[in-house]
């Protein structure tokens, strides 16, 4: 167990820093590369633990993945029918994306497999993928969810399809905007005899659609509907040759710190600015701060930019609907911005946060209160009263959730003394150099094992 001690900012954050490459795109580059016909080259690959879970699972499915350098991997794709039966359970660690996307592929295989995860992943809901996949013929069993009757969770047992059986077409209206659900269904659709349509309430991150299209998959997007039409397709995916963009969900912590700590000026370089991910930039703007966006063209079929913020006053606002869907991983750090805003910030339509690595609405409510910030927890969001002056230094447990740990670290920069964050090793899930980056920006953070 690692704890970090974050000291109040004695000086502004100043500097220009990189962030790890986008975790969501990294998962997809590995998995889709494995299904491609030939060798995919992936540069600026982040070795966050979640991405490493995907790599390990693919290796266990017979895919060769070479580490060419600390930031480059080569994936030896064997085509969509090239995976081999694993000899043991596939460990997805803390990564919901690994489990849900790989499940979409494994559901169509002739061999059986078992997907397991850590304590957090073993509480996350899996009916959202199992149920639509079963509707198209997949044979998936989960463990009963420990708290929700009728829900299932990991381990997932996926039975190989009997000889001569294949998945069928599917019309699926997802009740939630979820790129993991959408991607699992689309991937299974590559193997189906029939058309796949997935519709979601708001467009969730569309990295799968962009990458599959670039690889020659029979995919089309029409507003909130995505279609896979395998008829007439030769079943072959091309290869990838990508420099991955920086992760806006990691950048968000630095942008928030730069906005709320007096005198700060922070630039984060080469960040992916896919419009399905930039809700946090809109939120910053609406709160009166705003990031300066310097567009730099595209990487891996995704727009990228340098993002610069400076300290400035914030005002509380109401956030919900599609803006929350486009900032689904940034709600915890939005809470830190809200803590410093003038007036009340109301976050609604954020029910999905209850089924992330932790129940992020409940966990953030606890963290905010520990720092002396008043907030009301609602079923689908939070109401946060901004506070002037120093926050209360405290000790918090991040409940095995990387984004809670980093949000607490940012709040701690405003506290009246050093704050302790327990369980901070989980930050390595997505941003292994987070502490080093805060230090590079002039802040004092001690790490204690």
Report how far residue 158's alpha carbon sits from residue 20's, in angstroms, rounded to the nearest whole number: 32
- Asked if 329 interacts with ligand S3P (CB under 6 A), we say yes
Interface residue with ligand S3P, options 99, 154, 179, 217 (CB under 6 A): 179
Cβ count near 163 (within 10 Å): 6
Report how far residue 179's alpha carbon sits from residue 196's, in angstroms, rounded to the nearest whole number: 15
Kindly write out the interface string for residues 126-165 of this chain, putting x where it contacts ligand S3P by CB under 6 A and - elsewhere: ----------------------------------------
| Per-residue DSSP letter, 154 | E
Cβ(333)–Cβ(382) below 8 Å: no
Smallest separation (angstroms) from ligand S3P to the CB of 389: 33
Smallest separation (angstroms) from ligand S3P to the CB of 27: 6
Stretch that binds ligand S3P, among 67-75, 108-116, 177-185, 310-318 (CB under 6 A): 177-185
Both tokens of 33, joined, read: 């590369």
Nearest one of 136, 128, 109 to 34, comparing CA atoms: 109
Which of 329, 416, 422, 449 is labelled catalytic? 329
Report how far residue 383's alpha carbon sits from residue 370's, in angstroms, rounded to the nearest whole number: 16
Q: Helix-strand-coil percent breakdown of the chain, rounded to 5?
A: 30, 30, 40
Which CB, 178 or 345, lies closer to ligand S3P?
Answer: 178
Interface residue with ligand S3P, options 203, 328, 333, 441 (CB under 6 A): 328
Interface residue with ligand S3P, options 51, 53, 174, 178 (CB under 6 A): 178
Report how far residue 407's alpha carbon sits from residue 424's, in angstroms, rounded to the nearest whole number: 11
Strands (E), 59-177: 64-69, 72-78, 90-91, 113-116, 139-144, 152-159, 168-173
Nearest one of 173, 185, 175, 248 to 212, comparing CA atoms: 185
Stretch that binds ligand S3P, among 176-184, 189-197, 271-279, 437-445 (CB under 6 A): 176-184
- Asked if 97 interacts with ligand S3P (CB under 6 A), we say yes
Stretch that binds ligand S3P, among 67-75, 135-143, 173-181, 421-429 (CB under 6 A): 173-181
Segment 349 to 388, residues that bind ligand S3P, using CB under 6 A: 352
Residue 329 is a catalytic residue: yes
Interface residue with ligand S3P, options 180, 188, 196, 429 (CB under 6 A): 180
Smallest separation (angstroms) from ligand S3P to the CB of 329: 5
Nearest one of 228, 201, 291, 179 to 80, comparing CA atoms: 228
Pairing of strands 344-347, 318-319: parallel
Kindly write out the interface string for residues 5-24 of this chain, putting x where it contacts ligand S3P by CB under 6 A and - elsewhere: -------------------x
Segment 188 to 207, residues that bind ligand S3P, using CB under 6 A: 204-205
Q: What is the set of active-site residues? A: 329
Binding residues (CB under 6 A) for ligand S3P: these are 24, 27, 96-97, 178-181, 183, 204-205, 328-329, 352
């Amino acid at each position: 167990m690692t704890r970090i001690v974050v000291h109040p900012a004695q000086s502004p954050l100043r500097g220009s820093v990189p962030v790890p490459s986008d975790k969501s795109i990294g998962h997809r580059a590995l998995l889709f590369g494995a299904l491609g016909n030939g060798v995919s080259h992936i540069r600026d690959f982040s070795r966050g633990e979640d991405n490493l879970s995907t790599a390990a699972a693919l290796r266990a499915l017979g895919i060769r993945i070479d580490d060419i350098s600390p930031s480059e991997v080569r994936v030896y794709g064997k085509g969509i029918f090239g995976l081999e039966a694993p000899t043991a359970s596939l460990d997805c660690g803390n990564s919901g994306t690994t489990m849900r996307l790989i499940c979409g592929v494994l559901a169509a295989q002739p061999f059986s497999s078992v997907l397991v995860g850590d304590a957090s992943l073993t509480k996350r809901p899996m009916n959202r993928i199992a149920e639509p996949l079963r509707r198209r013929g997949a044979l998936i069993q989960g463990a009963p969810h420990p708290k929700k009757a009728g829900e299932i969770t990991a381990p997932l047992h996926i039975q190989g399809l009997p000889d001569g059986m294949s998945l069928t077409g599917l019309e699926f209206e997802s009740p939630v905007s979820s790129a993991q659900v959408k991607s699992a269904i689309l991937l299974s659709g590559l193997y189906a005899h029939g058309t796949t349509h997935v519709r979601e309430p708001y467009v969730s991150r569309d990295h799968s659609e962009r990458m599959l299209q670039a690889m020659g998959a029979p995919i089309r997007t029409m507003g909130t509907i995505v279609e896979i039409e395998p008829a007439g397709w030769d079943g072959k995916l091309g290869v990838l040759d990508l420099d991955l963009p920086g992760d806006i969900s990691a950048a968000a912590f630095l942008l928030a710190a730069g906005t709320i700590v007096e005198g700060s000026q922070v630039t984060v370089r080469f960040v992916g600015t896919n419009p399905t991910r930039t809700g946090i930039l809109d939120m910053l703007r609406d709160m009166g701060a705003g990031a300066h966006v310097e567009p730099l063209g595209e990487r891996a079929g995704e727009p990228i930019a340098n993002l610069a913020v400076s300290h400035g006053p914030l005002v509380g606002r109401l956030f919900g609907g599609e803006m929350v869907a486009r900032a689904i991983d940034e709600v915890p750090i939005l809470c830190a911005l809200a803590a410093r805003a003038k007036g009340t910030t109301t976050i609604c339509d954020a029910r999905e946060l209850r089924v992330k690595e932790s129940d992020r609405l409940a966990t953030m409510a606890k963290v905010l209160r520990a720092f002396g910030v008043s907030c009301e927890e609602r079923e689908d969001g939070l109401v946060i009263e901004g506070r002037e002056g120093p926050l209360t230094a405290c000790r918090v447990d991040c409940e095995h959730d990387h984004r809670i740990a980093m949000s607490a670290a940012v709040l701690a920069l405003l506290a009246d003394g050093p704050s302790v964050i327990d369980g901070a090793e989980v930050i390595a899930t997505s941003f292994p150099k987070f502490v080093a980056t805060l230090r590079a920006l002039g802040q004092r953070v001690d790490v204690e094992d």
